[in-house]
Structure 1
Amino acid sequence: MTRLITRKLMPLLMIAYIISFIDRTNIGLAKTHLEANLGISAAAFGLGAGLFFLAYSLCEVPSNLMMHRFGARFWITRIMVTWGLLSAGMAFVQGETSFYVMRVLLGIAEAGFFPGVMLYLTYWFTRRQRAAAMGMFLAAVPVANIVGAPLGGAILELDGAAGLHGWQWMFIVEGLPAVFLAVVVWKLLPNGPRDAKWLSEEQAGRLEAHLRAEQEAGAAESGTHSFAGVLRDKFIVLAIAIYFCHQIAVYSLTYFLPTIIESWGEMSSLTIGLITALPWVASAAGALLLPRYATNAARSRSILVGGLAAMTVGLLIAAVAPAVVALLGFCLTAACFFVVQPIMFAVPSTRLSGATLAGGIALMNTLGILGGFVGPYVMGLLEEATGSAVSGLWFVAALVAVGAVLGLGFPKRDPLVQDRAAKPDQQTAVGE
């Protein structure tokens, strides 16, 4: 049954996230064009890039609670329509003020999509399956960058067509598909197992009973039964702190990697886009291959700490090495991005239930993703202060190293996580 669920749900969710991430991050390719056409400085760009996450984070908890109340199908459709229209509307910014306003509005519109999907996956996958499912979903991020960087670079070459700049065409062409895909989501995405026409009533009931028992056991073990108590759970707080450090790295590279590559020499927009895609190829490979091994607490801890340490090494290499070696450093860092992230998001889903789980996942993303504001903002300030596009990498590497140290506090054993030594009837209870 797990294969059936994966086949029916994951392609649609991954395509939606690919479009989401392209729309969220395509301003990285537009950075130098916005500076040339609108006079937006590196510091102003970093602030605008980060304002998305500030607005996004403030709206995530209410958004996830709304999804819990109204259902995934309606709420994810609503999110996609509004973010698609606003992303296309980025083509009409006139200067720093309108740039800030549109980034804030886009953050509000898209808030809740990622934590909503993280919550949605807990409706379908058991604890032992969840890291692999989350890793598969997160593979959409590198795919978005693999596709989006060359696509954006090619669209930028349309500069002057119909009187529009290339960056305006990029926002329009990459924004509107979210609106069209929202129609598909509305028609095909079930709210939960009971609404899935491709599951029998018996299968749906067995799956829901198994997942409900897991959630109740996890909440009983953690002692957290209300949203107010989430931040008193030391393991959730630890996961949030590590996620904050992790997101500083992810979004610093997302927004500033094209600029760093451009600083290596004279290249066309398409060439920059193609080179930018290479670390994301490594990221996709990591997301698809490694999270599946995080089947118990000991493995999860080792993968988390090892992945963050590897990210730190890659960033330090990128900060000091010549272009080709620096690119390998970026590939090493990116390869671990979505290896460690599913492990962090598995924490609240093993310790919370019901509306508390919905709010807890959103709160974790709310606080953690503030790193998406801090990283680009500091990168922009340091680039402007030093004149070097790579100067901010030292700051990012230091924060990721802190995350690796914090990862040592993760438990080595979790009696609620079934490992492969579990009894056969436990492993196959929901058709694994």
Structure 2
Amino acid sequence: MSSTVHTTARRSPEAVNRLIFRRIMPLLIGAYVLAFLDRTNIGMAKDRLEIDLGISAAAYGIGAGLFFLTYALSEVPSNLIMHKVGARFWIMRIMITWGLISAAMALVNGEWSFYVLRMLLGIAEAGLFPGVMYFLTQWFVVKDRAKANGMFLLGVSIANIVGAPLGGLLLTMDGVGGLHGWQWMFVIEGLPSCLLAFAVWKFLPNRPTESTFLTRDEAEDLESRIVAEERQGAAAAGNSKLRHVLKDKQILLVIGIYFTHQIAVYALSFFLPSIIGSYGKLSPVQIGLLTAVPWIFSAAGAMLLPRLATNGARSRTIATAAMVGIVAGFALGAVGGPVLGMVGFCLAAFNFFALQPILFTYPATRLTGAALAGGLAFVNTIGLFGGFLGPYVMGMTEDLTGSKLSGLWFIVALCAVGAVLTRSLKRGAEAPAREAQQ
């Protein structure tokens, strides 16, 4: 990247913050749109894989979840590498490899090839989400991070809003060129990631002092304020190394809450098209359009609520309310039928990304440097085992009971536990101060 620009006028921190949002967030959101599209598009292909290849609901659930096992195991190494080589290069590498493997899903011919490619996709994409969470800590002070995290997570909502109808449309290409519609879907949705990777390399600076849109003074002032916050929080929490994550009760608490949250997110991502398909005789395009509706509400939640989490007390209150909303939404989805059930799924989705951006602000108030990079990856690593468990339980219970909704009660129970845990969340220096008073 070229050196920072020099001008005589110095903008206010608020103006600098708005400029950074405009310059880096659209590219990051675009990357996550493609990432989430490529990891969850099998939801649209579920029923066709069963018909064309004989992959059962249980096997589908295992394959959907295996992505998260290899993804999780590769997260910490990936983030530590990114800390050394920089975000530009590493995010570009991640995007190229996952795009190629996602397109290769068109080659699936049975359960084992399905499992292998899902595991390879997990390894390829590992590090993107925690890598961006770490990257954003280099650009935003604590009070602005929940908003930045929430904007990034818009990528999930956009991917599902666009991806479900697009996937339904691509499934109608069945027979074109001798390929199934789901094969066309994997190829057409996988390759754009490779193209966007080069835009990341060209336009994404690693840190403020490498940017071309901030003055030297603005960049150095921002970096100094961020470093001061990180050091203060890490010192107050007593954390200076990655191994300290394992003894920090607050970070372990975040992991537990995030685990229950991820069970809910990915159960809905992978099984909602199939649930909607059970409501009546619907075409793939109709199923895709209806699948997109809850994710419109998730986008609204990501935009409206995280920006309000400007301090510890507000963050805790919003996190609790969001988990309660997820519990209520899935319970209504389990008993409400087509109309009230969709209302329930919309309620749950509205709260998905009100909560997740807030959770990832906590480690950044308690860690710094390489410990922060590894710590964020560790939180995501353990939490993402929920991404394996949710689809697995949904698929297993569907096979056992014949009902596509039976697994929702398992999610309701675990998310209720997560809601209780949110009441104990504390940020950085807040935790020692409160504990001393108890």
Q: TM-score range by the shorter chain?
A: over 0.9
1:346 to 361, 366, 370: 361
Q: Which whole-Å CA distance do the structure 2 matches of 1:311 and 1:414 have between them? A: 29
Alignment-derived partner of residue 10 in structure 2: none
Q: Which whole-Å CA distance do the structure 1 matches of 2:130 and 2:150 have between them? A: 14
1:113 to 128, 135, 153: 128
Task: Please say if residues 242 and 371 of structure 2, whose CA atoms lie closer than 8 Å, have aligned partners that are also in contact.
Answer: yes
Alignment-derived partner of residue 423 in structure 1: none
Q: Which whole-Å CA distance do the structure 2 matches of 1:268 and 1:54 have between them? A: 33
Q: CA deviation at 1:415?
A: 4.4
Q: Which whole-Å CA distance do the structure 2 matches of 1:410 and 1:100 have between them? A: 37
Q: Which whole-Å CA distance do the structure 2 matches of 1:352 and 1:263 have between them? A: 46
Within 5 Å, give how 1:22-421 maps onto structure 2: 22-411=37-426, 415=430
For the aligned residue pairs, the C-alpha RMSD in angstroms reads 1.0
Identity of aligned residues (%): 59
Q: Which whole-Å CA distance do the structure 1 matches of 2:430 and 2:119 have between them? A: 42
Task: Please say if residues 298 and 413 of structure 1, whose CA atoms lie closer than 8 Å, have aligned partners that are also in contact.
Answer: no
Alignment-derived partner of residue 430 in structure 1: none
Alignment-derived partner of residue 420 in structure 1: none
Task: Please say if residues 297 and 414 of structure 1, whose CA atoms lie closer than 8 Å, have aligned partners that are also in contact.
Answer: no
1:19 counterpart = 2:19: no
Task: Please say if residues 138 and 287 of structure 1, whose CA atoms lie closer than 8 Å, have aligned partners that are also in contact.
Answer: yes
Q: CA deviation at 1:198?
A: 0.8
Q: CA deviation at 1:413?
A: 9.4
Q: Which whole-Å CA distance do the structure 1 matches of 2:189 and 2:427 have between them? A: 44
Moved more, 406-415 or 35-44: 406-415
Q: CA deviation at 1:291?
A: 0.5
Task: Please say if residues 322 and 355 of structure 2, whose CA atoms lie closer than 8 Å, have aligned partners that are also in contact.
Answer: yes
Q: Which whole-Å CA distance do the structure 2 matches of 1:407 and 1:250 have between them? A: 17
SS in 1 for 2:376: helix
Q: CA deviation at 1:140?
A: 1.2
Q: Which whole-Å CA distance do the structure 1 matches of 2:427 and 2:82 have between them? A: 33
Q: Give 1:349's aligned amino acid.
A: A
Deviations 1:296-330 (A, max 9, x none): 11111110011100110111011011201100000
Q: CA deviation at 1:139?
A: 1.2
Deviations 1:141-179 (A, max 9, x none): 111100000000000000000000000000000000000
Q: Give 1:176's aligned amino acid.
A: L
Q: Which whole-Å CA distance do the structure 1 matches of 2:344 and 2:427 have between them? A: 30
Alignment-derived partner of residue 422 in structure 1: none
Deviations 1:403-430 (A, max 9, x none): 00111111389549xxxxxxxxxxxxxx
Deviations 1:92-148 (A, max 9, x none): 011000000000000000000000000000000000000001011111111110000
Q: Which whole-Å CA distance do the structure 2 matches of 1:163 and 1:194 have between them? A: 52
Deviations 1:217-236 (A, max 9, x none): 01100001111111101100
Q: List runs of 5+ in structure 2 lacking aligned partners.
A: 1-15, 432-438
TM-score, normalising length from structure 2?
0.94
- For these two proteins, the number of residue pairs brought into alignment is 416
TM-score, normalising length from structure 1?
0.95
Q: Which whole-Å CA distance do the structure 1 matches of 2:267 and 2:310 have between them? A: 30
Q: CA deviation at 1:343?
A: 1.2
Q: Which whole-Å CA distance do the structure 2 matches of 1:411 and 1:231 have between them? A: 16
Q: Which whole-Å CA distance do the structure 2 matches of 1:5 and 1:134 have between them? A: 13
Q: Give 1:153's aligned amino acid.
A: G
Deviations 1:355-391 (A, max 9, x none): 0000000000000011000000010000000000000
Q: List runs of 5+ in structure 1 lacking aligned partners.
A: 417-432
